[in-house]
Structure 1
Amino acid sequence: MMDSSNHAMNPHNIDDSPAKIYLHSLTMRLLEGAEKLPAHLRDRHVRYLNASQNPDGGYSGRAGGSDLYYTGFALRALAMLQSLDMDRCTRTANFLTQRIQQPASAIDLFSFLVSSVLVTLGGGTDVLAAAPADWRDRVSATLEAHRTPDGGYAKLPNSPSGSTYHTFLIALAYQILERPLPNLDQAITFILSRRRDDGGFVEIAPMRRSGANPTAAAIGFLETASAITPEIRTSVVDFFAGLVSEFEGGYRANDRIPTADLLSTFTVVWSLLQMNGGDRIDLEAVRSYVLSLEAKAGGFQGGLWDNAVDVEYTFYGLGTLAALAGR
């Protein structure tokens, strides 16, 4: 529903169907936490995100040029801050409409679907309103072209082996389509095959040591499939707890990297909270780390090693602060 005075999105009307429960849970929990953040902090980042929109309605990364991936992160950040408005969403809808017929990777396709939902909720044009009646069938066929012989999904069609991260993304894409993931048992077996003795999960089969982000993706997938066992939960919580950077306060991508980063910090914090592992988080240390990456004019850097901001890391920064505030 739209607010009659300023057309700001009312996030409490987001669809609560079982098929969208993971994305809905993520959105609502971050939104509720973001409401507890100081108004001046929220306003600063709304201004940054609004200023980041390109004339064609999309958003770009550091390389320049509007991009589906970064557009999705910008919209998700604005939605978290309850700051999607009709004019901005209409402009973004125009950008998305121009991308409908272009070939897309699994990431771009997921970003397109998420962005299309958000611009409609924010009062923009329904990007898929004029699509053929069988557009869900067509999207499903495109997603299945990314299926790999090992039961997972890959970034690109006809790949020889699957990716933990892309299997999770495509599972979420099917949720947006309100369709079950085909051959779910095979996908579960694939994800479990990426588990390692250190308690986490890896992105590709040859890797022996787990990483924060593939582990978060694996746990997210298993959650959507109702396939997390108590033993997996315990080992993953222990694995995540071991990734903390004692010096910085954030979390590292893996136990061989000396410095933390904002992506890993967000995924670890969110995952620990989802698995009732919040008592393993030093809330103040993580919050201090995240705030150290905030630019005065808005936006977040990727880590203490970074010297620029972008909309993706801004989502991770706001998302981490919101998750901690909700806690």
Structure 2
Amino acid sequence: MQRSVTIKLLQTLQRGCSSLGEEARELIVGFLLSQRTERGAYVNKQGEEDLYYTTFGWLLESALGLRQDAEAMERYLAEVDLESLDLVHYAAAVRCRLLQRGAKGRLSLLWQALQRTPTRELESFRSVPNNDREAPYTQFIWMSLCEDTRNDYQPAALDAYRTSDGGYANVKGGKEMATNATAAALMVVGQSEGYDAARVSPLLEAQEPSGGFRATSVAPIPDLLSTATALFVLNCYGVRPRYEAADFVEAHWLESGGFAATLLDEKSDVEYLFYGLLALGTL
């Protein structure tokens, strides 16, 4: 059985966490817990409790082997109105539910015992990324949701998003390859059809000698999110990047214990802590 994206993310995070020295781990755990509220949820950039950011926080707690209060997690999730959520937050809620259950035992074993859970239809979401249900990132989120609920997933054709260099754009007919759209598309194809290393050439070519990836070729500098997602996808395909990325990732690590989005940023949040450790887990 193909491992789900959620399991692959968690296992990659665990590798990243296991590579930390004691002092680095303490700094990172300290930053992570500084982003957690008394209710066990996590805050966004504005300091407000946010379900999307809570997913990152709970994944990191699990990967770091921190004690999780399953009852507090349950109380937080009980307040979530699933029917009011957009696709991204609905998928986050479902993943949080899995992590809450996993807090009571080993997540990977729980996964094998999961039964199919009814979920909303894609068409029922009034808000999806880029307002396009067929776009690579939307399909990636939808596929992950189907995996997390053990529902069958039928991928939409992504040919309309292909660019001349073999990558993928964010919009149909787009001329510019986007790193994250390409990463999303490659994960959808890999999970659905198998991981053929020949597919990742456009992503390989997008890496810069610094080890980083730009969101697009016209982005001013490489960023941590694009780099982490690209490295994660290459890792899933069993392909090594062209350039070592350890120095690039380390350069984004802040004294606070978090990771910056780019070298021009001085603040972090739980999302970018996630991407920093995810990138480390691929190295």
TM-score normalised by structure 1 residue count: 0.76
Residues 1:68 and 2:51 are matched in the alignment: yes
Residue aligning to 1:145: 124
Residue aligning to 2:111: none
1:190-201 pair list within 5 angstroms: 191-201=158-168
Is the CA contact 1:300–1:313 (under 8 Å) kept in the aligned structure 2? yes
- Range with bigger deviation, 90-99 or 205-214: 90-99
SS in 1 for 2:282: helix
CA distance in 1, matches of 2:63, 2:188: 22
Give structure 2 stretches of 5+ with no counterpart. Answer: 106-115
State the identity as a percent. Answer: 24
CA distance in 2, matches of 1:230, 1:322: 20
Residue aligning to 1:250: 212
1:152-163 pair list within 5 angstroms: 154-155=128-129, 162-163=134-135
Which digits, 9 at most, give the CA deviation of each residue in 1:115-160, with x for residues without a partner?
1111221139xxxxxxxxxx933x233x34249xxxxx9349xx56
Letter in 1 for 2:164: D
CA distance in 2, matches of 1:323, 1:207: 29
Residues 1:322 and 2:260 are matched in the alignment: no
Residues 1:288 and 2:247 are matched in the alignment: yes
CA distance in 1, matches of 2:221, 2:139: 27
Superposed structure 1 runs of 4+ greater than 4 Å apart: 227-231
CA distance in 2, matches of 1:242, 1:310: 29
SS in 1 for 2:85: coil
- Alignment size in residue pairs: 274
SS in 1 for 2:246: helix
Residue from 145, 155, 164 that aligns with 1:173: 145
TM-score normalised by structure 2 residue count: 0.87
Q: 1:167 to 1:109 in 2, by over 3 A?
A: same
Residue from 19, 24, 27 that aligns with 2:10: 27
> Shift in Å at residue 276 of structure 1?
3.0
Q: 1:254 to 1:155 in 2, by over 3 A?
A: closer
CA RMSD of aligned residues (A): 2.6
CA distance in 1, matches of 2:8, 2:117: 23
Residue aligning to 1:95: 76
Residue from 221, 230, 243 that aligns with 2:188: 221
Give structure 1 stretches of 5+ with no counterpart. Answer: 1-17, 125-134, 148-152
Is the CA contact 2:252–2:259 (under 8 Å) kept in the aligned structure 1? yes
CA distance in 2, matches of 1:102, 1:21: 24
Q: 1:160 to 1:111 in 2, by over 3 A?
A: closer
Letter in 2 for 1:299: G
Residues 1:268 and 2:247 are matched in the alignment: no
Residue aligning to 1:313: 272
1:6-155 pair list within 5 angstroms: 18=1, 20-83=3-66, 85-87=67-69, 89-101=70-82, 103-123=84-104, 136-137=117-118, 139-141=119-121, 143-146=122-125, 154-155=128-129
SS in 1 for 2:225: helix
CA distance in 2, matches of 1:245, 1:317: 18
